[in-house]
Structure 1
Amino acid sequence: MNIYTKLTTLLEEAKEHSFQLNTSETITVLDALKHISENKKILDKAIYHALVLKQQSPKVKNLTRRETQIFNLVGNGFRSKEIALMLSISQATVCTHRKNIIKKLNITGSRQLQSLAYKYTENKAINPLPTKNTQ
């Protein structure tokens, strides 16, 4: 049995038994797949998406948790349709969140949202937020 067949069989069994991976396990699987995939970029995006959802990122100004998730995903180059699929919400809901983000951040239009979100996520990647001391 080749690795592809074995992997497919394992995934089908997990699906049948409603087995679910936690976020860390999902990231480990995606990282392993990245090494054998033809399209490494899509897996890199998926891994980053899982990390964005996992982390409790601070609110950008007064954005809700969901708006902050969407803001981060916009900053990573995801389109509304992709965000909707990843978050299991409708594309219309993503558009509503984007409009609310634009209002709350007092910016004009999607272009400015994309630019600001990109700069924010790039800055966060370069200068990660300090962790809280538990002393």
Structure 2
Amino acid sequence: MNNLIYFLNIIDSKFSDGSKLKYEEAIKVINAILSVTEEKTLKKETADLDNHAENTRYKEVLSKREMQVFGLVGRGFTTSVIAHQLNISNATVSTHRKNIIKKLSLKGQGKLQTVAFLYVKNEIRKA
């Protein structure tokens, strides 16, 4: 799943002409990459986490600020980028991450990134 975050960061960077992919387009690129790589392992993990993403009412469980952090984690941003974007300290972002993990009963930062990514992916599908 770390490959997904890597690809998101690359896709989020600007092209040489200054243009950027929209997140909807980025998701399509990532899905194409995923269909070619790590398909069997990822399918099982994604199916389990998709169920988790669909069955959890994140907005009812997490505070407004935690939802902001959760969404940015799902887009692959680092703690320092999230802190800068939300105008809060790195320590505050780390605290929000820990609280999100606890509230969603996740097992570590890797699962947080995966679930957050799937949440963002599902939100984009809904749009």
Give the TM interval when normalised to the shorter protein: 0.5 to 0.7
For the residues of structure 2 that align with 1:119 and 1:99, how far apart are their CA atoms? 19
Q: Distance in 2 between matches of 1:117 and 1:100?
A: 14
CA contact (8 A) 1:61 1:105 kept: no
Note closer, same or farther for the CA distance 1:88–1:116 as it changes in structure 2 (3 Å cut): same
Partner Cα separation in structure 1 for residue 88 and residue 115 of structure 2: 23
Matches of 1:108 and 1:39 in 2, distance apart? 38
Equivalent position of 1:106 in the other structure: 105
Query: Identity of counterpart residues, as a percentage?
Result: 47
Q: State the partner residue of 1:89.
A: 88
Q: Which amino acid aligns with 1:89?
A: I
> Are residue 40 (structure 1) and residue 19 (structure 2) matched?
yes
- Aligned-pair distance for 1:40? 2.6
Paired AA for residue 81 in structure 1 = S
- Cα pair distance change 1:120/1:100, threshold 3 Å: same
* Larger RCO, structure (CA 8 Å, separation 6 or more): 2
Greater fraction helix: 2
Residue in structure 2 matched with residue 15 of structure 1 by the alignment: none
Residues matched between the structures, number: 81
Deviations 1:71-128 (A, max 9, x none): 0000011111000000010001000000000000000111000000000110110123
1:44 Cα offset (Å): 5.3
Conservation of the 8 A alpha-carbon contact between 1:59 and 1:65: no
Structure 1 unaligned segments of length 5 or more: list them: 1-33, 46-57, 129-135
Q: Does 1:122 align with 2:121?
A: yes
Query: TM-score scaled by structure 2?
Result: 0.56
Q: Deviations over 1:21-79 (max 9, x none)?
A: xxxxxxxxxxxxx8xx73433x857xxxxxxxxxxxx8434100000000000001111
Aligned partner of residue 40 in structure 1, secondary structure: coil
**Within 2, Cα distance between the matches of 1:61 and 1:93?**
21
Letter in 2 for 1:113: L
Which runs of structure 1 show a deviation greater than 6 angstroms over 4 or more consecutive aligned residues? none
| Length-normalised TM-score, structure 1 | 0.53
Q: What residue ranges of structure 2 are gaps of 5+ in the alignment?
A: 1-13, 24-56
